[in-house]
Amino acid sequence: MKSELLQQVRVIDPVSSTDRVADVLVIDGVIQALQETIADYPTDTQVCNCRGLVLGPGLVDLYSHSGEPGFEERETWRSLQACATAGGFTRLHILPDTMPAIDNVSVVTRLQQKLATATVKFNFWAALTVGAKGQQMTELAELAAEPNIVGFADGRAIENLALLRRLLEYIKPINKPVALWASDAQLAGNGVMREGTQSICLGLPGNPAIAETAALAAILEVVAAIGTPVHIMRISTARGVELIQAAKAQGLPVTASTTWMHLLLDTQALKSYSPSLRLEPPLGNTNDVQALRQGVRLGIIDAIAVDHTPYTYEEKTVAFAEAPAGAIGLELALPLLWHNLVETGEWSAIELWRSLSTYPSQCLKQSPSTISPHSSVEMVLFDPHETWQVHMHTLKSLSSNTPWLGQTLRGRIVQTWYET
């Protein structure tokens, strides 16, 4: 029997709206008691003084990228698991853009076998389409029957609205989540940052906000006609928040997410020309950031995704406009969001944890983890005061494409519990 007592830890549980200091007794992977003080526990219990530490449900990442299979120099399953654990994530949902792509049952079967003993829960988004131009549907029903397939997403925009309509018609009776990214490639053109005065000043091609919002409006019209529930990925504009709010007010079956970096940085950060800030969608302006933060707080934007996208040093060490889009984030998201939003008083701890754990689970039709008596442990212990430097040798990820490389951060995961 393994017994652990966490004494005087700050317990944050969005499911029960709990934010209080208490003792937590865990025996054999189950929370046996949560009380102000626990004096009665087994004699061989490992007792930990957790004053100043935060205990919360395991974090859930809606969508991220893996290197393996196909790009193991960027990230392997082992390194991805390590950086997820280091960042407090107990559930990962991987986009299908591997090589080979996750677009048929045989690939899924191999992945399930390889990850059977993983210490985090890996689920996969199956591809919606196949082919270089994505003009053909995958075997949706066959893929949906696989236990580790959480839903369907390409991770790229589907601009053929007739195809999107057919996809949603086919998926509706399957009852699996569908994640779509709203982006119009023709409007975006060769833009690499949000169009505006900053893009002119920096001499970088602009990607207008309407590249997102025009595509989003079209998707919402298709959803209104078909009625299939969808999740909208990577909302990055203030107008995008307004469109999601209006869609929900009309009763459309939509949920939405933004990424963690879009809540922290705006176009001002691009003065550094750091290739790690080359993102898709691009960082927004100050109004976009404020609208996204408010949207998450109010529940208009349901969840925060990491969209962890590893690239090698050689791939990212190029001119900004030539760099592939994406940055890593599994190890960085919680400490940076906590420091910039919770410690400043802008968000409560429950609001942050809810958007990183409870609501992502609900978007995926999963039961959220909770810290309550008789629950299996799926939780993380976070020290908001510990400082550490972001370097290649301190990161668990094989890649280091982050604008925070070389900086000192405050806040780090102390321990992760996950019972399979």
The two three-digit tokens of residue 321, written as one number: 């406009």
Residue 42 and residue 343 in contact, taking contact as beta carbons nearer than 8 Å: no
Q: Tokens standing for 25?
A: 């007794």
Q: What is the DSSP letter of 340?
A: I
Helices (H), 250-347: 260-264, 286-298, 313-316, 333-337
Q: How far is CA 375 from CA 26, 121, 264, 371, in A?
A: 10, 17, 33, 7
CA distance 66 to 76: 7
How many H-runs (helices) and E-runs (strands) does the chain carry?
Answer: 14, 19
Name the active-site residue from 13, 103, 184, 307: 307
Is residue 44 part of the annotated active site? The answer reads no
- If one counts every other C-beta atom within 10 angstroms of the C-beta of residue 135, the result is 11
CA of 347: how far to CAs of 279, 290, 338, 342, 385, in Å? 25, 12, 9, 5, 18
Active site residues: 307
